[in-house]
Structures are given as C-alpha cells and as structure tokens.
C-alpha cells in the first residue's frame, strides 16, 4: 500500500519512484502542509465550536490526521476514489474513510463546516468544477491547496514533481495547472467567493538547491466561501 492508500502496480520503475517519494519527500510534505493548513484555519475560521471537516481526495489521510492533532476541535471524514486495501479494512484508521466515484460527493447540503482539497483538484480533470460547486453547498468554507503555473518552465517543473509524487501511485498527471486567472475563473464558475489567497509555501527550507527549482510560489492555499454562505454574511 502506498501513501495514497492505494496498491501500486508491479512496474519496478513505478515502485522505485513511489518508494523514494514515500521515504524522502512525503513525511516532510505532510508535516509542513498540515501545519500550514492548520494555521490558516486557526487564523481565518472561527474555531470556538467543533468543526466538522471533509477531506476530498484524502490519499493516506495523513494530512487530515496531522491537522486533527494540531487542532483537536476538528473532526475529519475522508473520501477518495480507491478501495480500502483488504488487509487494512479492520484497522481503526480507516473508519473515517469512504470511497466515492470522484464525481458526486456523497453528503447533504451543510453537512460540514470545511471541505479540504489538498493537491487534488489538478488531478480531477473534468470533475473539478463540479466538485468545487458541490463543496460550496456541503460546507460553509472550502480550503484548497494546489499549484500555480506561470510559464512553460513552471508547468514542466510541476509535471516532473507530479510524476515523482504521483505517477508511481497510479494517479494521473495533469497537462496543465491553475494560473491565478484560471483559478479565479473556476471559483466564479463554481459560485464560490474568495476570502483569502496565499501564494508561496516553503516545502524545502533546508534544501536550497531544490528551493530554487521548486519555487515556493508554485504552491498556494485559498479559503473560499460557498455562495449561500457569502449571502448570509453580507
Ligand atoms: C497528490 S494526491 C493528494 C493526497 C492527499 N490529499 C495529500 O495531500 O496527501 C491526489 C489525490 O487525489 C485523488 N483524486 C484524484 N482525482 C480525484 C477525484 N476526482 N475525486 C477525489 N479524489 C481524487 C487521488 O486518488 C489522490 O489520492
């Protein structure tokens, strides 16, 4: 089983890349992103009451679990498109996991306070806009961590990064990424409104060379409100 909770196929190359990523990159990524997202929640969302959170495209659920460790007032349900591997089905960890079809989020309106998409939307293809729109109905707040491209070079680097981080796990590699402009268009089409957009997340603070290639500004986090929620708070 891999970091996305999926069983990798038997290709030696894929297994090697997935193994390297799981050992050398994923643990640090999980800690940095979880801390960043938890701080973002704390700063921008009222946290006096318990917050019901849904992690869409949760992978191995480590991000949700780390955030819950930092913010104990958050409870997490996690959904993704893979089956729980047979040998994990009885493990407590997977109680919070639900498999869905990657298209229709299986929850009622206002079932959650927050929906999180962490490095998911650029893999979702044609389902992306619909997933965003549904998220705005299901929760008051939608949190997105994703990538931004600026040129052919940043797209090339991001694709290389995605091949390293996802191809080995059988996750499709996108042809392009959001630009600030296309992200804002997607938000408008999904009837969401932007509360905060933060561009620049430092994933490799102790690796100066990597930091020059994989620039912090290739990562962003955004907090959005569902349309109904925006009207209610006008
Ligand atoms: C880069 S991984 C991120 C996993 C996790 N969110 C994290 O940050 O560690 C991308 C995840 O998106 C999931 N995914 C791809 N398309 C999806 C869709 N249409 N709906 C939900 N999840 C999707 C994949 O199965 C994979 O687990």
Long-range CB pairs of 101-105 (<8 Å, 24+ gap) are 102/127, 103/127, 103/130, 103/131, 104/134, 105/54, 105/56, 105/79, 105/131, 105/134, 105/135, 105/138
Report the C-alpha gap between 5 and 94 in whole angstroms.
10
pLDDT in tens, 168-226: 777 788 999 999 999 999 999 999 999 999 999 998 877 777 778 889 999 999 999 97
Whether residue 4 is predicted with pLDDT greater than 60 in this model: the reply is no
DSSP label at residue 46? -
- Ligand 1, residues at Cβ distance < 6 Å: 4, 56-59, 63, 80-81, 102, 118-120, 123-124, 127, 166, 171
- What mean pLDDT is reported for the chain? 88
Question: So what's the pLDDT on residue 232?
Answer: 54
Q: Please tell me the residue having the least CA distance from ligand 1 atom 23.
A: 57
Which among 93, 146, 77, 81 has a CA at the least distance from the CA of 117? 146
Report the C-alpha gap between 64 and 163 in whole angstroms.
23
pLDDT in tens, 49-104: 899 999 999 999 999 999 999 999 999 999 999 998 777 777 888 999 999 999 99
For the CA of 120, the closest atom of ligand 1 is 12
- Residue 12 CA, ligand 1 centroid: distance in Å: 23
Question: So what's the pLDDT on residue 13?
Answer: 78
- Residue 84 CA, ligand 1 centroid: distance in Å: 14
pTM: 0.90
- Residue 70 CA, ligand 1 centroid: distance in Å: 22
CATH 3.40.50.150 fits 12-232, yes or no: yes
- Residue 98 CA, ligand 1 centroid: distance in Å: 13
């Amino acid at each position: 089983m891999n970091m996305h909770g999926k069983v990798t196929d038997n290709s030696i190359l894929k297994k090697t890349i997935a193994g390297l990523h799981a050992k050398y990159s994923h643990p640090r990524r999980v800690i940095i992103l979880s801390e960043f997202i938890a701080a973002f929640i704390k700063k921008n969302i009222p946290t006096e009451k318990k917050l019901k959170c849904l992690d869409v495209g949760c992978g191995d659920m480590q991000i949700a679990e780390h955030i819950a460790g930092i913010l104990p007032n958050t409870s997490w349900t996690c959904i993704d498109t893979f089956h729980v591997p047979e040998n994990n089905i009885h493990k407590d960890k997977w109680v919070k996991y639900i498999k869905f079809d990657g298209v229709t989020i299986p929850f009622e309106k206002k079932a959650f306070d927050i929906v999180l998409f962490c490095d998911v939307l650029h893999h979702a293809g044609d389902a992306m806009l619909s997933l965003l729109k549904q998220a705005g109905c299901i929760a008051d707040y939608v949190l997105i961590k994703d990538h931004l491209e600026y040129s052919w070079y940043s797209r090339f680097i991001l694709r290389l990064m995605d091949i390293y981080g996802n191809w080995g796990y059988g996750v499709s590699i996108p042809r392009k990424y959001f630009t600030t402009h296309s992200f804002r268009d997607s938000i408008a089409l999904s009837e969401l409104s932007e509360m905060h957009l933060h561009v620049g997340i430092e994933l490799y603070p102790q690796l100066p060379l990597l930091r020059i290639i994989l620039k912090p500004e290739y990562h962003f986090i955004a907090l959005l409100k569902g349309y109904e929620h925006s009207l209610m708070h006008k």
